[in-house]
């Protein structure tokens, strides 16, 4: 019987094409593979498909942690595939304790493997002592740009121009939004409210730049406005409609990139994609700046040194008008990212990822669900720590166990006894040598 693999996609717009490439490689190894969106479809897909192995996005919240715990209970092998790079050693060492904890993960989880982009991050995560390996496979999100064969199934230039109502005689530029909490979750309550206000400030600057760009080069260039996955589309769509330019939040960035002649971004991986495709890119603003307070970006981040940086729209307009039809990326920055944060950019990360997934075993089986209610009884207890606290005598150095007062009170309540009549609570000597000790 074929090994059944279920790949749960983090963002269908960004990740489904990449997951499709991994799926094809797994099929070539003899697997039966299905791809579903993780949110909203993930749990139903597990029950319907009953896979041997499940591939999930990064585990970054209690929901995803609990989800993989249930999948493991059902006997499935679980592999986490990181959809983006996190950091290299330089980033990690410069980070605050809050940033470091964000990289390492706020919630413990138990899976079979974690597939990382770069060697540095794999080394950092393996220091957690999680019991499962973090394995560097390379810059998997960039693989597709290296393979013309993989790109053939995407839309043709003619179809693309017709879909977006573009003038084929003009060059096309993509203006990609910055990203942050203010866009993706403005209705949620957070502690760091200043973080959200800074996001709104960045959004406003970016939208003002977009309006100036359209006014300045709108007759010379086709302009497509798009948003980073997870960003709220409404403000950008409204602006695009006002300016009379195309807005697209559904087409994967890699498809847009194949049909554009230049890119404006805010410190994104798309700047590297543009370099691979030999397209000029320009960075306006910086989501990786120190004010972002994010674990994935730090001051002076290398990713923000890939493309020429602008904070002045007039200078940006001039640069776009005078750009050459070739990559303008910093080769030094690209090399540093390849040997650090992003890992190998050889186009074969999907093969390495598929090999690691293929090696994981599992067998789906129904299991009685674990109850969230405590069904302890006086004589049958789930966790011995509820009853006993381990101690050690300071004189003879033997270990002993103290019956917890809380358990004694609970026991007396359950059996209807009087705790004052139980004299053992007053004993404070070692059961081995009778030396006196004091509980702390």
At 191 the three-state DSSP class reads coil
pLDDT of residue 190: 39
Element (H, E) at 77: strand 77-81
Separation CA 175–CA 425 (nearest Å): 72
pLDDT of residue 420: 64
Angle at 351 between CA 348 and CA 357, to 5 degrees: 145
pLDDT of residue 264: 96
Spatial neighbors of 353 by CB under 8 A, at least 6 apart, are 22, 25, 81, 115, 137, 140
On whether the CB atoms of residues 343 and 137 are closer than 8 A, the answer is: yes
pLDDT of residue 167: 95
Separation CA 43–CA 65 (nearest Å): 13
pLDDT of residue 241: 95
Separation CA 404–CA 64 (nearest Å): 34
At 245, list the tokens.
Answer: 């330019």
At 111, list the tokens.
Answer: 């899976």
pLDDT of residue 185: 39
Q: Which of 339, 348, 359 is nearest to 137 (CA)?
A: 348
On whether the CB atoms of residues 90 and 341 are closer than 8 A, the answer is: no
H runs (alpha helix) in 346-434: 349-358, 405-415
Beta bridge partners of 136: 116
CA dihedral 328, 329, 330, 336 (to 10 degrees): -170
Separation CA 200–CA 178 (nearest Å): 10
On whether the CB atoms of residues 292 and 180 are closer than 8 A, the answer is: yes
Phi, psi of 264 (to 5 degrees): -120, 130
pLDDT of residue 188: 36
Q: Which of 43, 39, 56 is nearest to 5 (CA)?
A: 56
At 152, list the tokens.
Answer: 């053939």
At 433, list the tokens.
Answer: 């040598």
Identify the structural domains of the chain with CATH numbers, from first to last.
4-142+353-358 (3.40.50.2300), 156-336 (3.40.50.12580), 375-440 (no CATH)
pLDDT of residue 103: 87
pLDDT tens per residue across all 440 residues of the chain? 899 999 999 988 788 889 999 999 999 999 999 999 998 889 999 999 999 999 999 998 888 999 999 999 999 999 999 998 888 898 888 888 888 888 888 889 999 999 999 999 999 999 998 899 999 999 999 998 888 766 766 778 899 999 999 999 999 999 998 865 443 334 433 343 334 334 444 678 889 999 999 999 999 999 999 987 767 788 899 999 999 999 998 888 888 998 999 999 988 889 999 999 999 999 998 776 654 555 444 556 788 889 999 989 999 999 999 999 999 999 999 999 999 999 999 999 999 999 999 999 999 998 877 777 778 877 788 888 889 988 888 888 899 998 888 888 877 877 776 666 655 555 678 889 988 765 44
Q: What is the pTM of this model?
A: 0.76
């Amino acid at each position: 019987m074929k090994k059944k693999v279920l790949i749960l996609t983090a963002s269908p717009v960004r990740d489904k094409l990449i997951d499709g490439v991994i799926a094809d490689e797994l099929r070539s190894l003899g697997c039966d593979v299905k791809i579903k969106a993780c949110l909203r479809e993930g749990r139903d897909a597990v029950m319907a498909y009953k896979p041997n192995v499940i591939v999930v996005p990064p585990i970054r919240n209690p929901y995803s942690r609990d989800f993989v715990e249930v999948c493991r209970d059902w006997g499935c092998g679980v592999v986490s595939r990181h959809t983006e790079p996190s950091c290299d050693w330089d980033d990690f060492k410069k980070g605050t304790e809050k940033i470091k904890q964000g990289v390492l993960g706020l919630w413990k989880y138990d899976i079979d493997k974690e597939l990382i982009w770069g060697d540095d991050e794999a080394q950092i995560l393996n220091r957690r002592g999680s019991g499962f390996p973090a394995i560097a496979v390379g810059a998997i999100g960039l693989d597709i740009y290296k393979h013309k064969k993989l790109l053939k199934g995407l839309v043709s230039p003619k179809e693309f121009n017709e879909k977006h109502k573009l003038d084929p005689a003009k060059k096309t530029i993509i203006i990609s939004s910055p990203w942050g909490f203010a866009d993706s979750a403005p209705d949620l309550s957070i502690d760091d409210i200043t973080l959200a206000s800074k996001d709104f400030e960045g959004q406003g600057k970016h939208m003002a730049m977009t309006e100036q760009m359209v006014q300045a080069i709108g007759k010379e260039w086709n302009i497509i406005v798009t948003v980073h996955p997870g960003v709220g589309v409404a403000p950008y769509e409204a602006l695009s409609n006002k300016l009379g330019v195309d807005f697209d939040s559904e087409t994967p960035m890699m498809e847009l990139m194949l049909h554009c002649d230049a890119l404006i971004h805010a410190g994104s991986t798309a700047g590297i994609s543009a370099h691979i495709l030999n397209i000029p890119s320009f960075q306006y603003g910086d989501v990786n700046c120190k004010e972002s307070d994010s674990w994935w970006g730090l001051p002076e981040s290398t990713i923000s040194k890939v493309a020429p940086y602008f904070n002045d729209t007039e200078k940006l307009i001039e640069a776009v008008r005078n750009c050459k039809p070739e990559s303008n990326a910093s080769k030094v920055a690209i090399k540093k990212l390849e040997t650090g944060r992003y890992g190998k950019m050889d186009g074969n990360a999907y093969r390495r990822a598929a090999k690691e997934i293929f090696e994981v075993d599992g067998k789906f089986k129904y299991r009685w669900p674990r109850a969230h209610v405590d069904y302890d009884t006086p004589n049958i207890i789930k966790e011995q720590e509820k009853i006993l606290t381990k101690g050690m005598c300071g004189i003879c150095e033997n270990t002993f166990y103290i019956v917890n007062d809380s358990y004694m009170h609970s026991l007396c309540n359950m059996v209807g006894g009087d705790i004052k009549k139980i004299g053992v609570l007053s004993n404070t000597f070692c059961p081995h040598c009778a030396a006196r000790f004091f509980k702390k």
